[in-house]
Amino acid sequence: MPDQPCGFLVLDKPAGLTSHACVARVRRAYKLKRVGHGGTLDPAVTGVLPLALGSATRLLPYLEGDKTYRGLVQLGVRTVSDDLEGEVLARAAVPALEAGDLAAALAAFRGKIQQVPPQVSAVHVDGQRAYKRVRQGEQLELAARPVTVHRLELLGWDPVSGALEVEVACSAGTYIRALARDLGEALGCGGALARLRRTGALGFDLEQAVPLAYLDQLPLPPLLDPLAALAHLPRRQLAEAEQVDWRCGRAIGQILPLENGQAVVVLSQDGNLAGMARARGEGLLQPKLVFNAAG
């Protein structure tokens, strides 16, 4: 892989910064233009922000999309943004609830569900971000979208404050703010997200994350090997006779049975990452991303 440095850096994003600002910090620290992030975090949200540096930016579409969070939901309040950062629309008394009541309510939000994104979100509406239109005074009717909540667990409940802590594992595109809103509606008192921390994204977790302050000191944090980020995908190592065909963008044999369209990590003869392919008919792998391509 020609570009150096090249790999992944996982930041533990602090509250108050945009994901774009974190990317800018990494660009300056590593003196690189090619830096991309995998999944935007709202400024108030902390936690796992995976960043790809150098040629690793081209691998972002092949990483796992699921994410995990720990959040605090405040019942008894509705806001324009579905979190406590937004303007309060209404307040209501929180009914007497036991942990069992909350567990039963949470059950309805597990699995494949239809979710309406928050009004203040990055969803496109007629070519413009929803949050921009809301700031201009519009009231939007956003369409529900399919998302998957793999796990939704109650971690704690404070009946005095009306706040509950939850852990969520979900598909890309799931809004935890919307979950807080909808849970509050289901309980009849409204709800908003009070605090959120992302604990996992794109196959990375908090154990791999480094504080933003580490970018201000030397040596800079070492980058994670791209192959580690692709461990969830099947691999195909090139034989010596296949190296030229691969570098020229020609299809190679699958060897293993694969579903049509399956992404595959392709390794050079020496075990380094040579690129990415997708399985196609006739038992072939079609190159989609070739590092060190010929010509």
Q: How confident is the model at residue 292 (pLDDT cuts 50, 70, 90)?
A: confident
Claim to verify: residue 268 and residue 252 sit in the same structural domain: yes
CB atoms within 10 A of CB 223: 19
pLDDT of 211 reads 97
Task: Read off the pLDDT of each residue in 274-292 and give the average, rounded to a whole number.
Answer: 92
Condensed to tens digits (0 to 9), the pLDDT of residues 33-53 reads: 999 998 889 899 999 999 999
Q: How would you classify the pairing of strands 35-37 and 191-201? A: unpaired
CA–chain centroid gap for 101, Å, is 30
Condensed to tens digits (0 to 9), the pLDDT of residues 58-72 reads: 999 999 989 999 999
Phi, psi for residue 193 in degrees, rounded to 5: -75, 125
The answer as to whether 295 is a domain residue is no
Claim to verify: residue 101 and residue 114 sit in the same structural domain: yes
CA–chain centroid gap for 67, Å, is 5
Q: Which helix (H) or strand (E) holds 198?
A: strand 191-201
What range defines the domain where residue 16 resides?
7-63+203-225
The answer as to whether 1 is a domain residue is no
The answer as to whether 238 is a domain residue is yes
Can you give the pTM of this predicted structure? Answer: 0.89
Active site residue: 42, 82, 83, 182, which one? 42
User: Among 205, 160, 152, 139, which Cα is nearest to 180's?
Assistant: 152
Both tokens of 170, joined, read: 């979900």
Claim to verify: residue 195 and residue 248 sit in the same structural domain: no
The answer as to whether 173 is a domain residue is yes
Any idea which of 64-68, 102-106, 281-285 has the lowest mean pLDDT?
Answer: 281-285
Q: Which CATH number characterizes residue 253's domain?
A: 2.30.130.10
The answer as to whether 2 is a domain residue is no
Judge whether 216 counts as a catalytic residue: no
Claim to verify: residue 37 and residue 78 sit in the same structural domain: no
Q: Which residues contact 259 (CB under 8 A, 6 or more apart)?
A: 279
